[in-house]
Structure 1
Amino acid sequence: MTDLTLWLAIAAIIVLLFLSGFFSGSETALTAASRARMHQMEKSGDKRAGLVARLIAARERLIGALLLGNNLVNILASALATTVFLNLFGEAGVALATLVMTALVLVFSEVMPKTWAISNPERFALAVAPIVRVVVAIFGPIVAGVEVIVRLMLRLVGVDVHDETWVLSAHEELRGAVDLQHKEGGLVKAERDRIGGLLDLAELEVSDVMVHRTNMVALNADDDLPKLVDAALASPYTRLPLWRGETDNFVGVLHAKDLLRALHAAGGDSEKLDIEQIITPTWFVPDTTSLQDQLNAFLRHKSHFALVVDEYGEVMGLVTLEDILEEIVGEIADEHDVELEGVRPQADGSVVVDGSVPIRDLNRATDWSLPDEEATTIAGLVIHEARMIPDERQIFTFHGFRFTVLRRERNRVTRLRIMPLGQQARQVPPLSVVPPQTPTVAGS
Structure 2
Amino acid sequence: MILIFEVIVLLSFIILSAFFSASETALFSLNKLQLKKIQKEEENNWRIKSIIKLLDDPQRTLISILIGNMFVNITASSLATYLAIKLIGNIGIGIASGIMIFTILVFGEIVPKSLAVVNAENISKRVAKPIEIISIGLFPLIKVFKALIIVLYYFFGKKSTREKKEITEEDLITLIDAGKDEGVIEEEENEMIRNIFEFGDTMVKEVMIPRVDMACISSDTKLGSILKMINKMGHSRIPVYEDTIDNIVGILYAKDLLGVYQKWYTSREKFDLKEIIREAYFVPENKKIDELLDIFQKDRIQIAIAIDEYGGTAGLITMEDVVEEVVGEIIDEYDREIKLFEMIEDNTVITDAMISIEKINEILNIEIPENGFETLGGFIYDLLGRIPKKDEKIKYQNCQIIVEQVVKNRIRRVKIIKELPQTKNNTPGKNA
Q: 1:386, 1:396 within 8 Å by CA — same for their partners in 2?
A: no
1:372 to 1:149, Cα distance in 2 relative to 1, 3 A: same
What pairs up with 1:205-216 in 2 under 5 angstroms?
205-216=203-214
* Correspondence for 1:78: 77
* Correspondence for 2:170: 172
Q: 1:226, 1:270 within 8 Å by CA — same for their partners in 2?
A: no
Q: 2:364, 2:418 within 8 Å by CA — same for their partners in 1?
A: no
Deviation at 1:129, TM superposition (A): 3.3
* Correspondence for 2:114: 115
* Correspondence for 1:11: 8
Q: Structure 1 counterpart of 2:96, which letter?
A: A
Q: Structure 2 counterpart of 1:219, which letter?
A: I
1:219 aligned to 217, 220, 227, which one? 217
* Correspondence for 1:298: 296
Q: Does 1:26 align with 2:27?
A: no
Structure 1 Cα separation of the partners of residues 273 and 98 of structure 2: 93
What pairs up with 1:95-244 in 2 under 5 angstroms?
95-140=94-139, 142-161=141-160, 163=162, 165-168=163-166, 170-244=168-242
Q: Number of aligned pairs?
A: 416
What pairs up with 1:267-346 in 2 under 5 angstroms?
271=269, 274-346=272-344
Q: Bigger shift: 227-236 or 171-180?
A: 227-236
* Higher RCO (C-alpha 8 Å, min separation 6): 1
Q: 2:306, 2:313 within 8 Å by CA — same for their partners in 1?
A: yes
Structure 2 Cα separation of the partners of residues 367 and 87 of structure 1: 74
Structure 2 Cα separation of the partners of residues 128 and 385 of structure 1: 63
What pairs up with 1:53-92 in 2 under 5 angstroms?
53-92=52-91
1:270 to 1:234, Cα distance in 2 relative to 1, 3 A: farther
1:24 to 1:185, Cα distance in 2 relative to 1, 3 A: farther
Q: Structure 2 counterpart of 1:324, which letter?
A: V
Deviation at 1:224, TM superposition (A): 1.9
Deviation at 1:372, TM superposition (A): 6.6
Q: Structure 2 counterpart of 1:8, which letter?
A: F
Identity %: 27
Structure 1 Cα separation of the partners of residues 344 and 383 of structure 2: 24
* Correspondence for 1:42: 39
Q: Bigger shift: 299-308 or 58-67?
A: 58-67
Deviation at 1:313, TM superposition (A): 2.1
1:306 to 1:255, Cα distance in 2 relative to 1, 3 A: same
Structure 2 Cα separation of the partners of residues 269 and 10 of structure 1: 111
Structure 2 Cα separation of the partners of residues 270 and 89 of structure 1: 122
1:100 to 1:337, Cα distance in 2 relative to 1, 3 A: same
Deviation at 1:175, TM superposition (A): 1.8
Q: 2:240, 2:252 within 8 Å by CA — same for their partners in 1?
A: yes
SS of aligned partner of 1:407? strand
Q: 1:263, 1:270 within 8 Å by CA — same for their partners in 2?
A: no
TM-score, normalization by structure 2: 0.82
1:162 to 1:331, Cα distance in 2 relative to 1, 3 A: farther
Deviation per CA, 1:215-256, whole angstroms, max 9, x where unpaired?
111111221233234323432222221111112111112222
1:169 to 1:271, Cα distance in 2 relative to 1, 3 A: farther
Q: Bigger shift: 381-390 or 284-293?
A: 381-390
Structure of larger gyration radius: 2
1:371 to 1:94, Cα distance in 2 relative to 1, 3 A: farther
Q: 1:407, 1:414 within 8 Å by CA — same for their partners in 2?
A: yes
Q: Bigger shift: 129-138 or 267-276?
A: 267-276
* Correspondence for 1:412: 411
1:78 to 1:354, Cα distance in 2 relative to 1, 3 A: same
Q: Bigger shift: 79-88 or 256-265?
A: 256-265
Q: 2:403, 2:411 within 8 Å by CA — same for their partners in 1?
A: no
* Correspondence for 2:428: none
Q: 2:219, 2:242 within 8 Å by CA — same for their partners in 1?
A: yes
2:245 aligned to 237, 244, 247, which one? 247
Q: Bigger shift: 187-196 or 116-125?
A: 116-125
Structure 1 Cα separation of the partners of residues 129 and 191 of structure 2: 40
Q: Structure 2 counterpart of 1:240, which letter?
A: I
Q: Structure 1 counterpart of 2:196, which letter?
A: L
1:318 to 1:98, Cα distance in 2 relative to 1, 3 A: farther
- Return 5+ residue gaps in structure 2 as ranges: 423-432
1:67 to 1:325, Cα distance in 2 relative to 1, 3 A: farther
Q: Structure 2 counterpart of 1:253, which letter?
A: I
What pairs up with 1:404-443 in 2 under 5 angstroms?
404-407=401-404, 409=406, 410=409, 412=411, 414-419=413-418, 421=420
Structure 2 Cα separation of the partners of residues 51 and 257 of structure 1: 63
Deviation at 1:373, TM superposition (A): 4.3
Deviation at 1:273, TM superposition (A): 5.4
1:154 to 1:348, Cα distance in 2 relative to 1, 3 A: closer
Q: Bigger shift: 338-347 or 413-422?
A: 413-422
Structure 2 Cα separation of the partners of residues 264 and 28 of structure 1: 78
Q: Bigger shift: 41-50 or 191-200?
A: 41-50
Deviation at 1:333, TM superposition (A): 1.1
Structure 2 Cα separation of the partners of residues 103 and 407 of structure 1: 72
* Correspondence for 1:436: none
Q: 2:32, 2:167 within 8 Å by CA — same for their partners in 1?
A: no
Structure 1 Cα separation of the partners of residues 277 and 379 of structure 2: 38
Structure 2 Cα separation of the partners of residues 269 and 23 of structure 1: 93
Deviation per CA, 1:33-62, whole angstroms, max 9, x where unpaired?
243243234333452445534443433333
